[in-house]
Amino acid sequence: MKNLTIPIKYGLAIGTALIAYFLILSLFGAHTNPIYSLLNGVLAGYGIYEGIKHYKLLKGEKFKYQKGFAAGMLSGFNATILFSVFMGIYASHLNPAFLDNIQWRLTGETGLGLFLFEVIIMGFATSVVLTLSFMQLFKKSWNTKDGKRHTYNKEEKK
């Protein structure tokens, strides 16, 4: 992708929104409850959708599915990396007791490495699913006369 400004810009915006939301939750002491992380998907989804939409507007008729998919994925991945770095700093330096207070750990201690791995995996998985979903809205339809040329019809072959 020649133009990386869209994934960087939207990745920073999504990551910043996720960090701000987490800090707002921490003001109310709700940042350890996993139910509030559901809004992370909404924030990431909105940013990924807007990033793909902006890329499509920029490219116009030259918009290709693969490039739009890459724009969405890179936006989500950039946001995930930014948010993971923040969470690493937060959990290790700003609030070391955070990992002991997380309500979703089942047994034993949750180490910083495992916690960051989970944050990264959840962020990447969310980015993949949301990008695949949104690209269905942006791809060209094959329900046209031109699209019918690419389908197999037994009656036309006779």
CA distance 25 to 28: 5
What is the percent of the chain with per-residue pLDDT over 70, rounded to a whole number?
82
Decide if pLDDT at 55 tops 80: yes
Contact 146, 76 (CB under 8 A): no
Residue 108 is given by DSSP the state S
Tracing tokens 């998919």 back to the chain, one arrives at 69
Cβ neighbours of residue 152 closer than 8 Å, sequence gap 6 or more: none
CA distance 68 to 133: 12
pLDDT tens-digit profile of 112-121? 898 899 999 9
- Enter the tokens of residue 135: 């690209």
Mean pLDDT of all residues belonging to the chain: 86
- Enter the tokens of residue 127: 């980015």
Q: Which amino acid is at 84?
A: S
What phi and psi values does residue 150 have, to the nearest 5 degrees?
-95, 10
- Higher pLDDT: 35 or 106? It is 35
Q: Which amino acid is at 150?
A: H
